[in-house]
Chain A
Amino acid sequence: MGRCRGVYAPGFVSMDSTPTRMDTMSSESLQSLIARHQASPHALVQILREAQTLQGWLPREYLVEIAGALGLALAHVQGVAGFYRFLHTRPVGTYRVLFSNNITDRMLGNEALMRDLCERLGVTRGQVRADGRISIELASCTGLCDQGPALLVNHHQIVTRLNPGRIEHIAALIEAQVPPAQWPPEWSRVDDQIRLTDVKLGTQPAPGEALAAAIARGPQGTLDDLKRSKLRGRGGAGYATATKWQLCRNAPGQTRYVVCNADEGEPGTFKDRVLLTSYADGVIEGMTIGAWVVGARRGLIYLRGEYRYLLERLQAVLQRRREQRLLGEAIQGRVGFDFDIGIHIGAGAYVCGEESALIESLEGKRGTPRIRPPFPVESGYLGQPTTVNNVETFSAVTHIALHGGEWWSRIGTPQSTGTKIHSVSGDCERPGIYEYPFGTRIGRILEDCGARDTQAVQVGGPSGVCLSAFEFNRRIGFEDVPTAGAFMVFNRSRDMFSVARNFAHFFAHESCGFCTPCRVGTKLVVRRMEKLQRGDGSAADVQVLFELDKLMHGTTHCGLGAAACNPLRDTIARFRPAYERHLQSLHFVPGFDLDAELSQARLATARDDSAAHLENKE
């Protein structure tokens, strides 16, 4: 096997002309959008996304044409298209309706609303109506938990605050073939719902103010000050931002990249949506300061596909900042400080929130997490040193650059400095955005949001922790309860088993399929949870769930699989009766009734005599 050696270049082949049967107009549109992306294989995900707008899905001829133009193998293009939930290689309805299926949407009745819409339109979930007009599916959390239930039409337009009236109206508009863009604008209203502000959501610096302070300090001076702030990443892992930037700055490379992780996919999290909607200047300024520190010339915002509706707004901010000489060449007149930012739109894949999967996706590939090391700071986007930071982290950087690291480090706790923005949803009177210094008690947040008779809080989303009432004195912070920003409240009327079941489906739906324990494990977990839901489960099934949790924690390729059983473990530990209510019997031992199994054979042979029953056999 000595000859089996070489360099892995995924999917690239020599160009050959494959005949297509595409009509000329589609072909021209396709060619022009490919040309807009310079026929770059790294733009494959963007090209597929845009190509899909031509017909709503990606016929095989499109894939052939794209593969040919980009010099990629057709199977590679097909594999990338097949990875993302928002790309379709089979026909979907002209109106493609996705109901957000976070547990908070469920608690607000999304199931009944979806059933209602399906019935009104005469379509089965997951299928395309015979006339091709409509298809309806469930989707992972769309980040509108504080104003749900929500749905997404044609991966572009959202409808918030669904109710039976809106569903009835939507059905009528679809039957009348009214384009979503002409639906009542009020339906697509997304409110920030900022309930409590602190330093990040309070007074904002004028555009360029914080950047000027950073430029005055110099890159190393800015980095040293960031070190003093002890800022840790806001995406969940809590890695020291200054250390990450230092590593990126020091890593050898031809160029460097600053990437903003706006793939806010953790169910129950919507703080980045608000930051990008109303505080985009602060986020972009933080990225620019990052570029100043690490020496990057190019930045990328990875915007989750569900937030596609924010694109035009963000582009306008970028354009204005270019005009203000805050992006582009010689930023703020500083010769040699050139930096600009592009936006990459995701296509429905939670795993792309993991930084190395995000980079794979930016490079036009399936979002499979990379083997690390090397870490992105050494070898990231296109193999160059890349720093990937959360939206909220960049926002914090801007405020730190303006007010100093010392100021920031005095807020919060010694190990968790500064503030954290929480996306509060679920059973409370005032869902929305709350900013608190680290160290805030869970109970305090519950009081502020008007939560009553609370049974549990899921902090940090399904990958985070589920806390019950006796833990509400614990505090938010890396030393106690870390969080990426979700705060979902459940009152005593909620069945915590159903919560865990919803999260189990989420992880199975979002598994990238690369490694055995996650690909198969998440599926086996879902089957167990469904078995319990049907009332067919036994204590042995709960035991298997424990085993799967342990295995997945120790063997998966990335954090998604490792965290996939967190909600299960937490809810079994804290709300065991909720599971036991679903068991046949606490002491039931699964077995096999051989005689009952033979009933089909008796039926088939038309026998029911005594010799056809096991108990009568010797």
Chain B
Amino acid sequence: MTDQRIDALSPGTFELDGRDVEFAPGDTILRAATRAGHYIPHLCWKPEYGPHGSCRVCTVKVNGRTGAACTVMAGAGQEVQSNTDELNAQRKTLLQMLFVEGNHFCPSCEKSGDCLLQATAYEVGMTGPHFEELYPNRPVDASHADVLLDLNRCILCGLCVRASAMVDGKNVFAIDGHGIATRLIVNSPSGLLGDSALQVDDCAAHICPVGALLPKRRGFATPIGQRRFDISPVSQQVEKDAT
């Protein structure tokens, strides 16, 4: 905590890996960098949503101090390091943690090729889990007519929770538990997705960056090899058109 607010009240420029990046008042480093077309790896953040800061994959160094780029406010003259060996190695470890925490079997997952976790892992050069797999026992909820909920793949990014609350106005999802037992739960009398208010065209049904929430019967509409991250790596698909 400092005596002054650290978020800038006027526009300015900071330096990201040696390149100047312009920011607007209220921007976080990740928002400004994304708008300028620069890639900082991230999973739990989307331009349309505010800072969340749970995956920590966007961790950068700001004037030598580490912080999540999605939560640290941009400030004039900041020196931000992101694409360094040290930070990319950290990202790889965080991704490995997410992989071993859940049950991620890319070859049999219909999200393969469209999956942000998989694409980001490729991006930072992850070739194996490094840690022992935890193999948690997590249920698959296929009760909904149009949407599959497979908690084995959930990375607890909270995007569906936020989308359902902020956009759909339904609060279909919430987070339960603590520590390694933290889990996504469904708001319905039975706790099953089929009994919830979720509809297939809800924002929450489509926002999952991994394959935990999938609209049914569309799995292979786009063949493997022609999917989003099959075509070009995630670092070349920065969502700069969004705010």
Contacts and interface: CB of A to CB of B under 8 A. Distances in A.
B171 A79 contact: no
Contacts, number: 170
Contacts of A239: 1
Nearest to A237: B1
Interface stretch (A2-10, A43-51, A98-106, A223-231): A2-10
Nearest to A556: B56
B48 A4 contact: yes
Contacts of A378: 5
A170 to B, nearest CB: 29
Interface stretch (A179-187, A265-273, A520-528): A520-528
Interface in B160-176: 162-163, 165-167, 169-176
B82 to A, nearest CB: 13
A83 B5 CA distance: 32
B8 to A, nearest CB: 12
B174 A79 contact: yes
A247 interface: yes
A232 interface: no
Max chain B Cβ within 10 angstroms of own Cβ: one of A8, A18, A372, A512: A8
B185 A513 contact: no
Interface stretch (B13-21, B97-105, B107-115, B216-224): B97-105
Most buried by A among B66, B177, B180, B242: B180
Contact of B3 (A64, A247, A521): A247
B187 A8 contact: no
A85 B177 CA distance: 9
B179 A519 contact: yes
A304 interface: no
A475 interface: no
A6 B169 CA distance: 9
Contacts of B167: 3-6
Interface in B92-129: 93-94, 97-98, 100-101
A384 interface: no
A74 interface: yes
A377 interface: yes
Contact of B100 (A371, A520, A522): A520
A509 interface: yes
A78 interface: yes
Contacts of A74: 187-189
A489 interface: no
B180 A520 contact: yes
A375 B1 contact: yes
A385 interface: no
Q: Is the interface of B mostly helix, strand, loop or mixed?
A: loop
B5 A373 contact: yes
A567 interface: no
Contact of B187 (A75, A85, A244): A75
Contacts of A554: 59, 66, 90
Contact of A557 (B53, B131, B172): B53
A514 B182 CA distance: 8
Interface in A360-383: 366, 371-373, 375, 377-378
B97 A516 contact: yes
B132 interface: yes
B58 to A, nearest CB: 10
Given A64-B189, A76-B171, A377-B1, A515 B56 contact: yes
B7 A373 contact: yes
A76 B186 CA distance: 9
B153 interface: no
A349 B163 CA distance: 28
Interface string A492-531: 0000000000000000111111111101111110010000
Contact of A524 (B1, B5, B97): B97
Contact of B51 (A371, A516, A547): A371
Given A4-B163, A4-B203, A551-B94, A515 B171 contact: no
A12 interface: yes
A13 interface: yes
Interface in A49-83: 64, 73-76, 78-79, 82-83
Interface string A520-545: 11111001000000000000000010
A604 interface: no
B114 to A, nearest CB: 15
A340 to B, nearest CB: 27
Contacts of A316: none
Contacts of B172: 75
A38 interface: no
B36 interface: no
Nearest to B132: A527
Nearest to A562: B66
Residue of B50, B100, B186, B187 ringed by the most chain A CB atoms within 10 A:
B187
B186 to A, nearest CB: 6
A243 interface: yes
A204 interface: no
Most buried by B among A73, A85, A556: A73
A516 B101 CA distance: 9
Nearest to A64: B189
A236 interface: no
A5 B167 CA distance: 6
B9 interface: no
B6 interface: yes
A557 B48 contact: no
Contacts of B175: 79, 366, 513
B55 interface: yes
Contact of B171 (A13, A510, A517, A524): A13
B98 A520 contact: yes
A511 B53 CA distance: 16
A512 B179 CA distance: 5
Which of A349, A371, A375 has most chain B Cβ within 10 Å?
Answer: A371
B56 A555 contact: yes
A206 interface: no
B135 interface: no
Contacts of A82: 176-178, 185
Contacts of A544: 131
A443 interface: no
Contact of A508 (B97, B163, B180): B180
B140 interface: no
A4 B207 contact: yes
Interface string A214-244: 0000000000000000000000000100011
A512 B176 CA distance: 10
Contacts of B97: 516-517, 520-521, 524
Given A78-B176, A79-B175, A551-B94, 17 more contacts: A1-B46, A2-B48, A3-B167, A3-B203, A5-B48, A5-B166, A13-B187, A75-B173, A76-B187, A82-B185, A373-B7, A509-B179, A513-B156, A516-B97, A519-B101, A519-B182, A544-B131
17 contacts: A1-B203, A18-B189, A75-B176, A82-B178, A83-B176, A83-B177, A371-B53, A373-B1, A373-B5, A377-B1, A513-B156, A513-B180, A516-B54, A517-B56, A520-B180, A554-B66, A555-B94
What 10 A-B pairs come out closest when comparing CB atoms? A513-B182, A75-B187, A6-B166, A75-B174, A520-B97, A82-B176, A73-B171, A79-B174, A511-B179, A523-B180
Interface of B: 1, 3, 5-7, 46, 48-51, 53-57, 59, 66, 68, 71, 73, 90, 93-94, 97-98, 100-101, 131-132, 134, 155-156, 162-163, 165-167, 169-182, 185-189, 191, 203, 207, 242
